[in-house]
Structure 1
């Protein structure tokens, strides 16, 4: 498998505890043509300058996290990872060699992925859990892992089902805030009015927020 394909990576965070069981390595890919109203990451709709990484460089960045004893899994989201299916495949294959619990979010449905192309179908072989479907703001019902009720959870590796069921039945899963160089990244499944609530609180403090689609 060639590793020459570059991949647009927006952020890498650890430990992510709001998107699946355990301490997870979170990888956000940049680029998504869907532009769902109410999307929690509109800044990732388009890749930005400097986000393209070679597979070799990306593996170099990920290697220290994958060797951690407390690593509980990986979550790959975006953007839409399958918007870069050719580049996603070597990334997932690399991750799969180190950790069996790989959760991937996509706005495509599972059936669409089966017809998206050879790379997309091959990606499914390296995914433990897939959450599919576009985000629909009006169907956001507060599920711990799904952004909206139309989305489905596929246990492509059935042995992972009990672990996720225990996670879903456990205590509440609040969003996490990561302090970054240029601001704060809020990670998790946000309620449908989250963006408006944040904007209102910011306005009270004299801060005007702008999306960067």
Structure 2
């Protein structure tokens, strides 16, 4: 699993001040994608345990942060790879996690490997970017078909 880049403080990737991690790899090929370099799963740098430890340290040392956002690419490009990452982020920071994906929530729920990841996500922004439905005034999404789903209210733990 590769990381394209991180933003230590951003206000455009979810509510509040967030630490955003952009992962490489995306199968959706959305026309007008804001991050086409994220399609290649080999782009960026391999995520190592040391790098993840550093990211967690940066997050925990910033009292201004309200949460973490996973984007890309598409974090669900490799759900088995993202699972141990999201588990550590949740356990070691305790912050809310937003995740952007081009998949629909209903489709992710049908895939056991994706269901495990969904358990650690508080807010899911789902659906592919559709250029003809682009609206620049939308908060936290690019096109009107995308949904912001509060998964935290469905948590069992």
The two structures share one fold, judged by TM-score above 0.5 = yes
Q: By how many angstroms is 1:11 displaced?
A: 0.4
Q: By how many angstroms is 1:58 displaced?
A: 3.1
Q: Distance in 2 between matches of 1:158 and 1:139?
A: 28
Could you tell me whether the CA contact under 8 Å between 2:7 and 2:19 is conserved in 1? yes
Q: Distance in 2 between matches of 1:66 and 1:130?
A: 20
Could you tell me whether the CA contact under 8 Å between 2:56 and 2:89 is conserved in 1? no
Aligned residue in 1 for 2:146: 151
Q: How does 1:196-207 map to 2 (within 5 A)?
A: none
Deviations 1:139-158 (A, max 9, x none): 01231111111111110113
1:62 aligns with 2:55: yes
Deviations 1:38-70 (A, max 9, x none): 00000111034662223x123222122221211
- Tell me which of 8, 25, 31 is aligned to 1:14: 8
Stretches of structure 1 lacking an aligned partner (at least 5 in a row): 1-6, 160-213
- Tell me the TM-score normalised to structure 2 length: 0.89
- Tell me which of 107, 110, 114 is aligned to 1:120: 114
Stretches of structure 2 lacking an aligned partner (at least 5 in a row): none
Q: Distance in 1 between matches of 2:99 and 2:118?
A: 10
Aligned residue in 2 for 1:73: 67
Q: Distance in 1 between matches of 2:40 and 2:113?
A: 21
- Tell me the TM-score normalised to structure 1 length: 0.67
Q: How many residues align?
A: 151
Aligned residue in 1 for 2:29: 35
Change in Cα spacing, 1:25 to 1:50, as seen in structure 2 (3 Å) is closer
- Tell me which of 77, 82, 86 is aligned to 1:83: 77
Could you tell me whether the CA contact under 8 Å between 2:8 and 2:59 is conserved in 1? no
Change in Cα spacing, 1:94 to 1:65, as seen in structure 2 (3 Å) is same
RMSD between superposed Cα atoms in Å: 1.6
What is the DSSP-based 3-state SS (H/G/I as helix, E as strand, rest coil) of the residue aligned with 1:102? strand
